[in-house]
Amino acid sequence: MKPKLGVLAVFFGAAFCSFVLGGCGKSAAEVKPAVAFGTYDTEVDWNDNNRLIPLGYQESQGKRVFYQYCVWCHADATPAGPSNRSNVTPTPPLMNDGEKLNGESSEYLQNIITLGGSALGKSAMMPPYGKTLSADEITSVIAFTRAIAQPAYQKPGRPGSQYAGKP
Amino acid sequence: MPAEDMGKLSEKLRLTFAVSTVVCVLALAISPLKDFRAEWKHYKRWFVKYAQTRPDTKKLLADYAPNIDQVWLPGMNVTDRCTTCHQGITQSSLADASVPQPFRAHPPVPHNVRQWGCTICHRGQGPATEVAEAHETTLAWEQPILPAHFLQASCGRCHQSDFKEGPQLARGRELLTHLNCQGCHKLNNLDRPTLGPDLSSVGYKVTREWIYKWLKEPRTILDNDGNVAMNGYENEPEPRMPNFRLNEEELKALSGFLSVQKAKPIEKYKINPAVVTAWSKKPDLISQGEVRFRQMMCTTCHSLAVTRAGETKMIGGDIGPELTKVGSKVNEEWLVAWLRNPKSYLERNNMPRYGWSDEDLYKVSQYVMNKLTDSDLLANVPQLGTPTDQEINTGKRLFAEKGCASCHALNGIAPQKEFGPDLTALGSKNASELEFSKAKIDHNLVSYIQMKLQDPLSVNPAARMPQYHWEQADLEAVTTALLSQTGPAATSALQHLEVPRKESSFQAVGAFAEVYERYKCYACHRFNGYGGTLAPDLSFEGSRARQKWIAEFLKNPQTIRPTLILRMPQFNMSDKDASIAAEYLSIAVQNPSVDPQSVDARQFTPAMVSLGKELYEVKYQCQSCHTIGATGGYVGPNLNNAGNWLTPAWIEAWLRNPQTLQPDTIEPRRAFTEEEIRALTAYLLTLRAAIKPLTAAKATAPALAERGAGR
């Protein structure tokens, strides 16, 4: 009876120590904050062939829509080779032109894609895509534009909020 | 036992009891203490702290509860506790990249997390409550989370038909089909594969030496530095034929066996001697042959390596084989017979039967035999001579053993069933089920598949799988497609979610059937979901184009889209064939929603025409994409001959809603009024520029093409 109890006590004690110590080993501070599982897709930087820009899910959907509908006039190289950009006056901005596009709000871009250029007092050569693409698809194209922008796009913070100006 | 001893004993016993009670209490405290320190509780507390630093604290903490949160969907076998830590997953205000993980919101996807859970797409261990157990492979939990880059594999579990939202998956499936992986492996939900050439009479076509070289080293196009200039399968720069790592003896035996395959004699054709005498002395014979070769648009299906400024590029299509060195490959007698009537050599093939004059046949065959050559191609091949009986027998055995019959038809040799492993459930394998041999890679399924594809011997020294050469993007695409092969759905609820692949077929009938087969219309064009995707879908051609225009176009095809590099070949089609095809197409392949009687062209007035012109040029500025005359864009077809080409009913239906007629067209749907539609139609019908006859000036056109796509 006695030896058995002793063994039991030692067992419990050891188990207790190991549990507590084990628990200490995984203290909150040591847990990795995020597990890196890569990016959904990538796009080659248009100004630098050696740089890959990581794309999230929404941006990669935008890439798909861009390369089907927009690339013909908003890029200098297209999947078919030559670009239609030079045939259009005024010349449409390149989709990665941050200097031109970073200043425009996402709402404005959403509107001009949905309603076309003439509805916003711009060139009628930009046709409306609101009846062809879904609102989500248009949002994703804008997300893609923001991702590839050179110079990089900075999200505007709310004026006066503690986040204003933060990247 | 004496009474006085009882007290002593009971004191000892009491002490033991006291100690063991303390130990028991402490032991019982372990569990609540451990629970209090659980990893997930740390994230719960952190989220509260984090939410308090945000302006929308109230909204973020509205549904907060300090316990384990789970999505339980018994029908789909989902018990996902991921939202215990990923607490901001449905909070749109936490979408920004500056929000620390695991609190960031999920990007908007068609599948809501409460209805689908997480592991259906991301895999990993739903019921686990520790970070490592949920995401990685541990002793007790074997399914790691899928890297985001291969996530489209999960879409493929249910979406078995065309899936435009997942281009990587679609490309991977296309490659699995194109490379005929199904020849050796069992795979689910793929199109019918394209096989390699039938070898029943290959002895008439090529020499034993060429076969030897091909088996040893299928890739022969090198750039200046001796490197393979092209890679990937986009333009068939790399043959679909992989390298089987054959030794010298096997090469001799197989080449010997194949060189005696002469099942059906070729239809020899003697070109008119007068033509040969007249042309053979002309110095521009070869260059004239090249002009004809280009005019007939052979490069729409075949590619050629072109070197300019030290850079070698493949230009042309990938429907037929690459032809850069074909003159050093085939026998001249075979080439002439093949060009005249491809069917006489192979019953099933994709080569159209052109209408040849003796002159053209002589010029083009001389060009191919003398210009598309490489004198060094067979330089390192020994003279092999006639094969011995022993070599032929060994070759026959090897043909079956190496799996050649899985891709190539040959008289008397049937493909072996289940030659390679069944891959229909590869995507759900655990790492412990895989053999890694000595390969120094991470022990997980994704690394395994990529390594096996890149170098089959590294993970299995006895592998029979041949060596392929992949471009990184293609390797990842094929890996994604293989990961989507997860075997039968675990539960019936998941089976109901499957979006099955569409089976399509098209049968040409009557006199057209012969024309359709002769010119292989289906190699490039699609009819009701059946056929190639290179050229426009002709399912509704009868509603779109006028019969007279179709007949003229077939006899003298002119490109309607100026930027296209790959164009309709010049078949030299006879009047009879052209009128049969035009009649069939205009009557039998129509869109029921386009009523040809609905528009009466006589109603159009000059006022409507001028209004239409103004709408076209000023209000809608269609010239940004379409060309009329010499100005305009080249995104859409040029409209110079629209009046002769398109039917009025089609123009009106198209202007109302182009996507109903052609779902993937990039022409946007506009909000035209009925009056505007009528005016635009009236204007377009006045555009009637005659088709110019073909000139030799086009010969340089393919050389201008920098990139071979044009789809």
Q: How many CB pairs under 8 A join A and B?
A: 143
> CB distance from B145 to chain A under 8 Å?
yes
Task: Give chain B's length.
Answer: 711
User: Using 50, 70 and 90 to split pLDDT, how confident is the model at A108?
Assistant: very high
Note whether B624 contacts A81, CB cutoff 8 Å.
no
> CB distance from B242 to chain A under 8 Å?
no
- pLDDT reported for residue B634: 84
B511-704 shares the fold of B202-371: yes
Q: Indicate whether A46 and A76 sit together in one domain.
A: yes
Query: Does the residue A54 lie in any domain?
Result: yes
* Chain B residues within 8 A of A144 when measuring between CB atoms: none
- pLDDT reported for residue B334: 94
CATH of B157-194+419-496, one of 3.30.70.120, 2.60.40.420, 3.30.70.1380, 2.102.10.10: 2.60.40.420
- pLDDT reported for residue B221: 64
Q: What value does the mean pLDDT take over residues B409-431? A: 86
Shortest distance between the Cα of A39 and any Cα of chain B, in A, equals: 5
pLDDT digits (tens, 9 = 90+) for B628-663: 888 888 888 889 899 999 999 999 999 999 999 988
Query: Does the residue A153 lie in any domain?
Result: no
CATH number of the structural domain B202-371: 1.10.760.10
- pLDDT reported for residue A23: 41
- pLDDT reported for residue B7: 59
Query: Does the residue A161 lie in any domain?
Result: no
Q: Indicate whether A69 and A113 sit together in one domain.
A: yes
Tally the C-alpha atoms within 13 A of residue B186's C-alpha that lie toward its C-beta: 11
The chain A residue lying nearest B103, using CA atoms, is A34
- pLDDT reported for residue B236: 42
Mutate which of B37, B146, B620 to test chain A, going by most A C-beta atoms within 10 A?
Answer: B37
Q: Indicate whether A24 and A45 sit together in one domain.
A: no
The chain B residue lying nearest A129, using CA atoms, is B668
Query: Does the residue A164 lie in any domain?
Result: no
CA B91 to chain centre: 37
Query: How many domains, chain A?
Result: 2
Q: What value does the mean pLDDT take over residues B124-132? A: 88
Element (H, E) at B576: helix B575-588
* Chain A residues within 8 A of B34 when measuring between CB atoms: 19, 23
- pLDDT reported for residue A68: 92
With 70 as the cut, is the pLDDT of residue A128 above it?
A: yes
Taking a C-beta distance cutoff of 8 angstroms, is the pair B406, B372 a contact?
no
Task: Tell me what percent of the residues of chain B surpass a pLDDT of 70.
Answer: 91
pLDDT digits (tens, 9 = 90+) for A34-82: 344 668 888 989 998 888 888 888 999 999 999 999 999 999 888 877 7
- pLDDT reported for residue B110: 84
pLDDT digits (tens, 9 = 90+) for B667-690: 999 989 999 999 999 999 999 886
Q: Which domain holds residue A143?
A: 41-148
What are the sequence ranges of the domains in chain B? 1-37, 39-145, 157-194+419-496, 202-371, 511-704
Q: Which CATH class is domain B511-704?
A: mainly alpha
> CB distance from B25 to chain A under 8 Å?
no
Instruction: Extract the tokens encoding B441.
Output: 């890679």
How far is B674 from B413, CA to CA, in rounded Å?
A: 64
Q: Indicate whether A25 and A66 sit together in one domain.
A: no
With 70 as the cut, is the pLDDT of residue B286 above it?
A: yes
Q: Indicate whether A91 and A117 sit together in one domain.
A: yes
Query: Does the residue A154 lie in any domain?
Result: no
How far is B539 from B334, CA to CA, in rounded Å?
A: 36
Mean residue pLDDT across chain A:
77
pTM, two decimal places: 0.84
Shortest distance between the Cα of A46 and any Cα of chain B, in A, equals: 17
Taking a C-beta distance cutoff of 8 angstroms, is the pair B607, B663 a contact?
no
Shortest distance between the Cα of B591 and any Cα of chain A, in A, equals: 21
Q: Indicate whether A53 and A104 sit together in one domain.
A: yes
Note whether B151 contacts A40, CB cutoff 8 Å.
yes
With 60 as the cut, is the pLDDT of residue B158 above it?
A: yes
78-137 of B, contacting A, C-beta below 8 A: 96, 98, 100-102, 107-109, 131, 135-136
Q: Indicate whether A70 and A99 sit together in one domain.
A: yes
Q: Indicate whether A26 and A84 sit together in one domain.
A: no
Q: Indicate whether A15 and A49 sit together in one domain.
A: no
- pLDDT reported for residue B580: 94
Taking a C-beta distance cutoff of 8 angstroms, is the pair B243, B467 a contact?
yes
User: Using 50, 70 and 90 to split pLDDT, how confident is the model at B378?
Assistant: confident
HEC assignment per residue over A47-114: CCCCCEEEECHHHHHHHHHHHHHHHHHHCCCECCECCCHHHCCCCCCCCCEHHHHCCCCHHHHHHHHH
Q: What value does the mean pLDDT take over residues B153-168? A: 87
Note whether B34 contacts A19, CB cutoff 8 Å.
yes
Beta bridge partners of B71: B80
Residue A68 CB: number of other CB atoms within 10 A?
16
Which one-letter DSSP state was computed for residue B159? Answer: B
Q: Indicate whether A46 and A25 sit together in one domain.
A: no
B34 → closest Cβ in A12, A23, A58: A23
- Residue A50 sits in a domain of what CATH number? 1.10.760.10
Cis check for the bond before B265: say yes or no (omega within 30 of 0). Answer: no
- Look up the ipTM and state it: 0.83
pLDDT digits (tens, 9 = 90+) for B572-608: 899 999 999 999 999 888 888 888 888 887 888 999 9
Shortest distance between the Cα of B385 and any Cα of chain A, in A, equals: 47
Least confident of B55-69, B496-510, B580-594: B496-510
How far is A73 from B621, CA to CA, in rounded Å?
A: 14
- pLDDT reported for residue B492: 66
User: Using 50, 70 and 90 to split pLDDT, how confident is the model at A157?
Assistant: low
φ, ψ (nearest 5 deg) of residue B448: -60, -50
Q: Is B587 exposed, middle or buried (0-12, 13-18, 19+ CB in 10 A)?
A: exposed
pLDDT digits (tens, 9 = 90+) for B524-576: 999 988 888 888 899 999 999 999 999 999 998 887 877 677 788 889 899 99
Q: Indicate whether A84 and A117 sit together in one domain.
A: yes
Residue A155: name the closest of A96, A102, A107, A98 by CA: A102
* Chain A residues within 8 A of B168 when measuring between CB atoms: 41
Query: Does the residue A78 lie in any domain?
Result: yes
Note whether B634 contacts A128, CB cutoff 8 Å.
no
- pLDDT reported for residue B545: 93
B563 → closest Cβ in A69, A81, A129: A81
Query: Does the residue A166 lie in any domain?
Result: no
641-660 of B, contacting A, C-beta below 8 A: 659
Query: Does the residue A76 lie in any domain?
Result: yes
Q: Indicate whether A14 and A57 sit together in one domain.
A: no
Residue B575: name the closest of B558, B555, B548 by CA: B555
